[in-house]
Amino acid sequence: MASSIDLRRELAAAFAENRLVKLVLARSGEQGVKSSARPVAIKGEPRLQWADRRGKQEVHANLTLDESLKRLEREFPSRFHQVNLLTTDADFEFRLGHRGDIIARRGKASSRQPVNVAHDSAKQYLIPEGQPCAFLEAVGVMTADGRVRAAMQHKFRQINRFLEFVNDVYRDLPADGVIRVVDFGCGKSYLTLAIHHLLAVIHGREVDITGIDRTADVVATCRGVAERLELEGLAFEVGEIGSAAIAPPVHLAVALHACDTATDAALAKAVEWQANVILAAPCCQHEVASQMNAPALELLQTHGILKERFAALATDALRAAALESAGYRTQVIEFIDLDHTPKNLLIRAVRRERPEPEARSRWSNRLRELQALLGIPTTAVEAIGRASGGESRESENTR
């Protein structure tokens, strides 16, 4: 313990001497409630960019050093009970003691990397621009020297954005052994190849990836790319989603352009396999819109475009609830637009290690309540429940 260490003085010195890496304020006993600050340059002027996080919400503010010191004085130790000050030559910890005193410690620096204060610096992609990438060259996104073709900038951003989503759930895939992946409706295989690159090249894992598409010519083209690049653990098959003859385990199931109820078939198949992670970006959705019979929602059905959009959102809400009832932790998040559809939602589901029966039943009930509100007697979403055994459980609950 070194009680003589002064937080304000150390922060000011580190900021002035360009030694500051990060400042983190946390509230003890409450996960997800924290605030942090890092050095940035706004129009050439040094600032501290504060990020205030509450759960999934984050608000930013760019403050001067004096403004930051005043904010720090207001919030520590009254709002936050611990502060970690990370610099290039030492790490400091300040926390509120049981007696109301401030306990301070100095330790070895965890990061000695130079501090980049550029606020508008180029985005660091998992596949960087300017570095040759064989598969991106093969599909026409990059030139041989790593330059992204002007007409393919959108595709390049889409691929990297998707890889960020996959990388976020990498920890939920097996830590050892072969990672098995199925990509339903792989199309031209841009993203299938990207998954292979992320797992096999960036993470150095052994993979068994299968891309499935109903069009034989497309599959032949994909096979040609994989063979030409000598990509191990990557295969392409002609087939339908519902009849995919792949034996479990499947660790990652992807369905990014399955039209209408084909998305439900893909989700059901993934649940049947008990896939660790499911990623689905729904395409056109017509089933719910064509069946809706809800007088209480008449205003939403009066105008065709409103009915279509509402039905699409309702469909994805039903799918998310079905996945929760099947034992998955599910999020519906924004995804960069796909080339063939204006839809930009991604359903991301991670299988829970120990799903709680009560929680699964609660989600199943909520699904049925929404379906009843919409006046829909049956929907393809129900296949997800059948794949997890949910239908039999529901029958038992209604006896």
Find the DSSP H helices in 90-189: 134-138, 153-168
Can you read off the two tokens belonging to residue 137?
Answer: 């060259």
Number of alpha carbons in the 13 Å side-chain half-sphere of residue 63: 17
Side-by-side strand order, sheet with 102-107:
57-63, 45-54, 33-42, 20-26, 82-87, 91-96, 102-107
* pTM, 2 dp: 0.67
pLDDT at 114 over 70: no
121 pLDDT tier (thresholds 50, 70, 90): very low
pLDDT recorded at residue 282: 86
pLDDT recorded at residue 129: 84
Instruction: Say how many C-beta atoms besides its own lie within 10 A of residue 279's C-beta.
Output: 24
pLDDT recorded at residue 399: 31
- How much is the mean pLDDT over the chain? 86
pLDDT recorded at residue 194: 95
Distance CA 96, CA 80 (A): 9
52 pLDDT tier (thresholds 50, 70, 90): confident
Q: Report helix, strand or coil for 263.
A: helix
pLDDT at 338 over 80: no
pLDDT recorded at residue 72: 94
Q: What is the mean pLDDT of residues 305-318?
A: 92
> What would the pLDDT profile of 128-169 be if each residue is shown by its tens digit?
888 889 999 999 999 988 889 988 988 998 899 999 999 999
Can you read off the two tokens belonging to residue 122?
Answer: 């180029």
pLDDT at 286 over 80: yes
Distance CA 286, CA 314 (A): 11
More confident residue, 341 or 109: 109
pLDDT recorded at residue 253: 96
> What would the pLDDT profile of 180-232 be if each residue is shown by its tens digit?
999 998 888 999 999 999 999 999 999 999 999 989 999 999 999 999 999 99
Nearest in space to 20 (alpha carbons), one of 43, 48, 41, 1: 48
Q: Report helix, strand or coil for 214.
A: coil
At position 142, the amino acid (one-letter code) is M
pLDDT at 392 over 50: no
